[in-house]
Amino acid sequence: MPTARPPFGVLLVNLGTPKAPTPAAVREYLAEFLWDRRVVDAPRPLWWLILNGIILRTRPGRVAKAYQSVWRDDGSPLMHYSLAQQAALRVELQQRLGTDIPVALAMTYGEPNMEQAGAELRKAGVEKIVVLPLYPQFSGSTTGAVHDRLAKGLQRCPHLPEMHWVMKYFDHPLYIKALGNSVREYWAEHGRGDRLLMSFHGIPERYERNGDPYPRQCRQTAAALAAELGLADNQWLCSFQSRFGREEWVKPYTDKTLESWGADKIGRVDVISPAFASDCLETLEELDVENRHAYMHAGGSDYHYIPCLNDKPDHIALLATLVEEHSRGWI
């Protein structure tokens, strides 16, 4: 352990990504991701048969092709932007606090995992941690899964760190302002659409009925962004994407909404996804490619995807402010 210990460290957490855009790598990633009870809470014996007998035999090839269409020279988009956020956040905290604050990156599924990130923080002498999941809205399937995975990683640790959690920031003024700036900057460069669709990753309706606050927080984010942009009620909509399986998910569905708007000849549609801190497969392929095709094929004339906040300066400033707010008393 170093003799001069930092006042605290930051554990920045995102969902995860396959190591490569190949069926084998995707199969390994999906096996870990889809086995998590937080993600799929079906009875284990039945789900094991479905997962291993059907899904992991058929889905990896299709998903790998989708990853190949968005893969970068330096890896997946999610990993690229997560690493950029990690580096930029450390610089921002150094400038604000006048001391070096270690920032480690972990993924809930895949690598770098919690144990690797924890070892990095321990090596830096960290004994207090701000845990910052990159999920603005809380869900048991995302932030809850981060909690479970971190707890599992700490089971064999003889000395537990003191931790402060950023559980949500769906209505933080700097978050809404950063989203608004992103939309305004896009409009200034590309013109403005007739409607703005705010698409969030969905969860089963049953999860919401059981108490998951995620859909409510998504709707609150969407309403706050609409107010920030001065939109009338008929100029925007909150929808949910990426449903999986046969049960009903929270509505309205993004793809069905876009098909309906295309058939109604709405005109130009702008789409943004405020649930994602980093562009990834669900935004760059599902929203920008699949849903674009759905809208245009149904009769739509113009479709624009507005990128995630990624490593924009005002996004990094928001993350640094969240760290400051949750580390009070440690400096």
Taking only the tens place, the pLDDT of each residue in 168-181 is: 999 999 999 999 99
* Rounded-to-integer distance, Cα 75 and Cα 14, Å: 15
Average pLDDT over residues 52-59: 97
Choose among 144, 110, 120: nearest CA to 38.
Answer: 144
Residues of each domain in the chain carrying CATH 3.40.50.1400: 173-305
Residue ranges of the annotated binding site for Fe(2+) are 201, 282
Please give the full DSSP string across 180-241, using - where no structure is assigned.
HHHHHHHHHHH---SEEEEEEE--BHHHHHTT--HHHHHHHHHHHHHHHHT--GGGEEEEEE
Residue ranges of the annotated binding site are 201, 282
* 173: CB partners within 8 A, 6+ apart: none
At 106 the three-state DSSP class reads strand
Return phi, psi of residue 304, to 5°.
-130, 130
Choose among 229, 236, 222, 243: nearest CA to 269.
Answer: 236
pLDDT reading at 1 higher than 80? no
The Cα-based distances of 265 to 260, 262, 269 in angstroms read 9, 5, 10
Confidence class for position 23, pLDDT limits 50, 70, 90: very high
Confidence class for position 2, pLDDT limits 50, 70, 90: low
Question: What is the residue whose two structure tokens read 């409607």?
Answer: 195
Average pLDDT over residues 132-140: 98
Average pLDDT over residues 207-227: 98
Task: Work out the mean pLDDT of the chain and round it to a whole number.
Answer: 97
Name the β-bridge partners of 109.
Answer: 16
Residue range 74-111, pLDDT digits in tens: 999 999 999 999 999 999 999 999 999 999 999 999 99
Q: How many Cα atoms occupy the beta-carbon half-sphere of 114 within 13 Å?
A: 20
Choose among 61, 5, 6, 8: nearest CA to 30.
Answer: 61
pLDDT reading at 290 higher than 80? yes
Q: How many Cα atoms occupy the beta-carbon half-sphere of 77 within 13 Å?
A: 20
SS (H, E, C) 28-92: HHHHHHHHCCCCCCCCHHHHHHHHHHHHHHHHHHHHHHHHHHHCECCECHHHHHHHHHHHHHHHH
* Rounded-to-integer distance, Cα 290 and Cα 277, Å: 20
Q: Say what the pLDDT of residue 4 is.
A: 79
Q: Say what the pLDDT of residue 159 is.
A: 87
Q: Which helix (H) or strand (E) holds 132?
A: strand 128-133
* Rounded-to-integer distance, Cα 215 and Cα 200, Å: 9
- DSSP letter (8 states) at residue 249: B
The Cα-based distances of 194 to 119, 124, 230, 293, 302 in angstroms read 50, 51, 14, 18, 10
Choose among 255, 328, 331, 279: nearest CA to 71.
Answer: 279
Residue 86, class by beta-carbon neighbours within 10 Å (0-12 exposed, 13-18 middle, 19+ buried)?
A: middle
Q: Which of 39-43, 147-151, 157-161, 248-252 has the lowest mean pLDDT?
A: 157-161
Is the whole model's pTM more than 0.75, yes or no?
yes
Angle among Cα 103, 323, 87 to the nearest 5 degrees reads 30
pLDDT reading at 73 higher than 70? yes
The Cα-based distances of 17 to 21, 234, 245, 283 in angstroms read 9, 37, 21, 14
Confidence class for position 218, pLDDT limits 50, 70, 90: very high
pLDDT reading at 69 higher than 90? yes
Question: Domain 173-305: which CATH class?
Answer: alpha beta
* Rounded-to-integer distance, Cα 261 and Cα 270, Å: 12
Question: What is the residue whose two structure tokens read 């089971």?
Answer: 155
pLDDT reading at 130 higher than 80? yes
